[in-house]
Structure 1
Amino acid sequence: MPEADTRSTVSAPISPRRIYVESEFASLHTVVLAQSEMRLPDADTFSPAQLDEEIDIMPADKRLVIRELLGKDHAIAMPARQAQWECERANFQAVLEKHDIEVLRPRLLTQYEKDAGGANGYANAFVRDPWFTVGGHVIEGSLRFPHRRREVLASRNIMKTQVIPAGSTYNALPQPEIMPLEIDDGGPGPFLEGGDVLVHGQHIFVGQSGRASTAQGAEYLRKLLEPAGYTVEVVPLKPNILHLDCAMGMVREGLLVVYEEGVLNGVPESLADWEKIPVSQLEAANLGTNGLPISPTVYITDPFFERIGSEVAKRGIHVEYVDFAISRGFGGAFRCSTQPLWRETP
């Protein structure tokens, strides 16, 4: 297999760019779109019971594919499926660019980075989790799954050429403690993953199910952002939910798509009077809440969720559909695959 292309896919900016994320649905101007690289851990890096626990949040057909891919690079093991995965991302990029959104891409992993993963494997597929943007703060997170610990490295070219020269701040969480998943018991980490972080102005929601972000991760974010006037609210999730954006998504001001049974204490009080489009457990497991608003009037989802899309459209919002079946098979959809750098009301 040829050596991965390590060249940057973005050039240095002529002048510092605008980096700011106002909310989950403010107009999207600049976004980072993930690559499609994945090698899952070897089967013997988990106990059988732990493996069952980690993948039982996925639909049964997706679990079968995950088991088949343990210890294998997806592109080598399933080349036709890999081509379909890359095509999904290309089609998604075309829709974003049709709406005049600037799309940046992380680089591919080097062979050195792949080798460093060892039996734990590697990932470069869901750019939302390794780092995220809140207001003018760009924050490097800390991921629970060992095969994703180095995923942020593929975005470092964007951080160097786009983020650091800009007028934003850049912070990174401490490295997590090293321990097997079966004894980490959801913490302490600290773990903080972008899929758990939803932005609504100065109010930041952080999901916590025991599978990803932990109390220490949320506390780090609170200490970082509260001096700048932000409120950080932890949202407890049922343990069959990976991230907050797998249970709840803001479509525009006053409108949520939500799997309410997955949110232990109910929808947060500040969002309680919002109109809610209910999502079933099966739809949530397939990533039905993980669509992407690109403005308050345009929303992207998968044709698998035509029912949800139709409900969104009834509220006067234009819905774009992109087939994202392979991406969803790895546990992430449109929000997971993107990292907004500039979202702001005109």
Structure 2
Amino acid sequence: MDNTPWGCDSDYGVLRDVALRSPEHFGWFGANAVAKETLRKGITFDAKLAADQHAAFVAAFEDAGVRVHMVDPDPALRYHVYTRDPAIVTPWGVLIGQMQREQRRGEVAPTVRFHQKTGIPIWNWVTAGSLEGGDVHLLRPGVAAIGMSGNRTTKEGAEQAKAWFEAEGWECRIVPIAEHFLHLDLLISMVTESLALVCTDVVEPEIVNWLAELGIKAVPTTYADAMRLAGNCLSLGDDRVISSAEAETANAQLRSLGIKVYDPALTMFTLAGGGPRCLSQPLRRESVKAG
């Protein structure tokens, strides 16, 4: 039995446990700017392909030695396959968010039940505005960033969560983003303690400089990468990530830097607005807190 306690103090510590959800009820609808563009182009959803791609995604975790926990399915929650968004697991327990989209608000209930069943305590619960997990980044122990589009994550929700992090002694910075980027993790994804995929076409220089001051080098991605989820990856720790086959340029850059890249094809999910980070909620990472 792993003695590592539940919780995450970074986005890059060695991942031990992750929450995923079966795509059996998944289907496309105009939930966001990326999905709307996919539907406008007349691209057809393929449920069998989605199931096969998700199975390969699960297999990548298993190959990397990560325990996979499946959230109970609910046919009313078509987008809950993106387990990242309803909650964020912190060093103190789970922060339950508030979903902005009407079609996704019900995801909070099975998320709470899952964490209660798993034994992960609820640390806090957003009650002001909305806040979604794709906007919350644990850049390193003691430093967090919260993306704020004013839509998926509102000023009120971001400021409430920021105050909770600061009460625990963390630095927390709110990063404004345009609404069509959905979440901050289309623009920034941690890879290792010192590397992150960063959409330098879009992310303000002051944020890139702030990351550099934290010792985080930007591996650049483009606006086009962001809109096809090609900058959205999940760190597994120990210089490993799960990306997607569609992120060819980013994957090549990471491999040139010595990163092991798992890259299952995930088109049925990236075309709907979510990549590997969106599809996964880390539950337990090895602590990287100094001392």
TM-score relative to the length of structure 1 = 0.75
| Correspondence 1:57-72 to 2 at 5 A | 57=34, 60-65=37-42
SS state at 1:331 partner = coil
**1:28 to 2:5 alignment:** no
Counterpart amino acid of 2:11?
A: E
TM-aligned CA deviation for residue 322 of structure 1: 0.5
Q: For residues 207 and 216 of structure 1, what CA distance do their matches in structure 2 show?
A: 12
> Is the 1:191–1:216 contact (alpha carbons within 8 Å) kept by the matching residues of 2?
yes
TM-aligned CA deviation for residue 199 of structure 1: 0.3
Unaligned runs of 5+ in 1: 1-13, 42-50, 69-77, 115-120, 175-188
> Is the 2:188–2:197 contact (alpha carbons within 8 Å) kept by the matching residues of 1?
yes
Larger helix share, 1 or 2? 1
Corresponding residue of 1:148: 104
Aligned length: 284
Corresponding residue of 2:254: 312
After TM superposition, the runs of 4+ consecutive aligned structure 1 residues lying more than 3 A away are: 14-17, 38-41, 54-66
Q: Which moved more, 1:235-244 or 1:197-206?
A: 235-244
Corresponding residue of 1:191: 130
Corresponding residue of 1:281: 223
> Is the 1:301–1:334 contact (alpha carbons within 8 Å) kept by the matching residues of 2?
yes
Q: Could you list the per-position Cα deviations for residues 203-236 of structure 1 after superposition, in whole angstroms to 9, with x for gaps in the alignment? A: 1100012331011111211232222112221011
Q: Could you list the per-position Cα deviations for residues 320-342 of structure 1 after superposition, in whole angstroms to 9, with x for gaps in the alignment? A: 11000001111001000111111
Q: Give the 3 Å change call, closer, same or farther, for CA 238–156 of structure 1 in structure 2.
A: closer
Q: For residues 34 and 58 of structure 2, what CA distance do their matches in structure 1 show?
A: 28
**1:301 to 2:240 alignment:** no
Q: For residues 56 and 155 of structure 1, what CA distance do their matches in structure 2 show?
A: 25
Q: For residues 256 and 274 of structure 2, what CA distance do their matches in structure 1 show?
A: 26
Counterpart amino acid of 2:87?
A: W
Counterpart amino acid of 1:241?
A: F
State the percentage of identical aligned residues. Answer: 25
Q: Could you list the per-position Cα deviations for residues 120-179 of structure 1 after superposition, in whole angstroms to 9, with x for gaps in the alignment? A: x75322110011112223011011111000012233442121134xxx4432222xxxxx
Q: For residues 193 and 344 of structure 1, what CA distance do their matches in structure 2 show?
A: 24
Q: For residues 63 and 213 of structure 1, what CA distance do their matches in structure 2 show?
A: 25
Q: Could you list the per-position Cα deviations for residues 9-60 of structure 1 after superposition, in whole angstroms to 9, with x for gaps in the alignment? A: xxxxx9997211021111000100133234667xxxxxxxxx7xx7545684
Alignment equivalent of 1:171, drawn from 124, 128, 132: 124
Q: For residues 171 and 20 of structure 1, what CA distance do their matches in structure 2 show?
A: 14
| Correspondence 1:1-346 to 2 at 5 A | 18-36=5-23, 37-38=25-26, 55-57=32-34, 60-65=37-42, 81-109=46-74, 114=76, 122-164=78-120, 168-174=121-127, 190-200=129-139, 201-264=141-204, 266-273=206-213, 274-345=216-287
SS state at 2:72 partner = coil
TM-aligned CA deviation for residue 98 of structure 1: 1.2
TM-score relative to the length of structure 2 = 0.88
SS state at 1:233 partner = strand
Counterpart amino acid of 1:139?
A: L
> Is the 2:198–2:218 contact (alpha carbons within 8 Å) kept by the matching residues of 1?
yes
SS state at 2:108 partner = helix
Counterpart amino acid of 1:34?
A: R
Counterpart amino acid of 2:170?
A: Y
Larger Cα-atom Rg: 1
Counterpart amino acid of 1:84?
A: L
Counterpart amino acid of 1:194?
A: G
Q: Give the 3 Å change call, closer, same or farther, for CA 306–130 of structure 1 in structure 2.
A: same
Unaligned runs of 5+ in 2: none
Q: For residues 169 and 269 of structure 2, what CA distance do their matches in structure 1 show?
A: 36
CA RMSD of aligned residues (A): 2.6
SS state at 1:272 partner = helix
SS state at 1:278 partner = strand
> Is the 1:260–1:267 contact (alpha carbons within 8 Å) kept by the matching residues of 2?
no
Counterpart amino acid of 2:159?
A: E
Q: For residues 15 and 39 of structure 1, what CA distance do their matches in structure 2 show?
A: 36
